[in-house]
Amino acid sequence: MRRAVRAAAAGLAVAAGCVLAGVLTDDADGAGTGAGGTDGGRAGSVRTAARAAVIDPAARQDAPVLDGEDLDGKPAGLAELRGHVVVLNVWGSWCGPCRAEADDLERLSRQTRADGVRFLGINTRDPDREAARSFVRAHGVTWPSLHDPAGGLLLRFPPPLLNPQAVPSTLVIDRRGRIAAGIGGAVTDEQLRPLLARVAGEPS
């Protein structure tokens, strides 16, 4: 019964155009299951913010090549951020939970910059760049976002690490360009900060 209710709720979220964190919640028996049927306890799988953990360095996968244009048409990508810890946030201007987390992410980006942390967004399902730029202005976001209206960049990631239908999602990428943590759903600065501190504290 519980699984049926959860599936119905997930369907409504998809129909609304945004998959929420509830799709990635843990079952009562502690065996978490992701939106794609991924075991939440498996190393390297996406988890909700409350259950997120840093992946062991030996088990990390390289992040795919990400490059393109930002919302102003300027070149942007992951390669230029190599050597930094990167927070990669998937968002859309149409997504309510994205609006809820935007202020926290911007605050955290300012507070962690001195620690070598950089933020990069992937703006998805926004065919109109102006809608995305309005979102950026409204929340005072200072970090660039790749414009990915068709979601092609998201398909470069292994589904267990980034479900292309789960918006928002956040990945933490280590200094060597490997995916160190994956979070499905909205995240707060308090939830993300300890993950960043751990990855930023790793030897280069």
Domains and CATH numbers, the chain: 2-200 (3.40.30.10)
Alpha helices in 41-188 (DSSP H): 96-112, 129-139
Q: What is the pLDDT of residue 43?
A: 55
Task: State the pTM of this model.
Answer: 0.80
- Determine contact, residues 143/111, Cβ cutoff 8 Å: no
Q: What residues in the chain have per-residue pLDDT under 70?
A: 1-45
Q: What is the pLDDT of residue 44?
A: 63
What residues form DSSP beta bridges with 24? none
Q: What is the pLDDT of residue 134?
A: 98
Q: How far is Cα 37 from Cα 134, in angstroms, rounded to an integer?
A: 35
Question: What letter does residue 160 receive in the DSSP assignment?
Answer: T
Q: What is the pLDDT of residue 1?
A: 42
- Chain centroid, CA 135 distance in Å: 17
Order the strands of the 169-173 sheet from edge to edge.
Answer: 145-148, 117-124, 85-91, 169-173, 179-184
DSSP 3-state of 89: strand
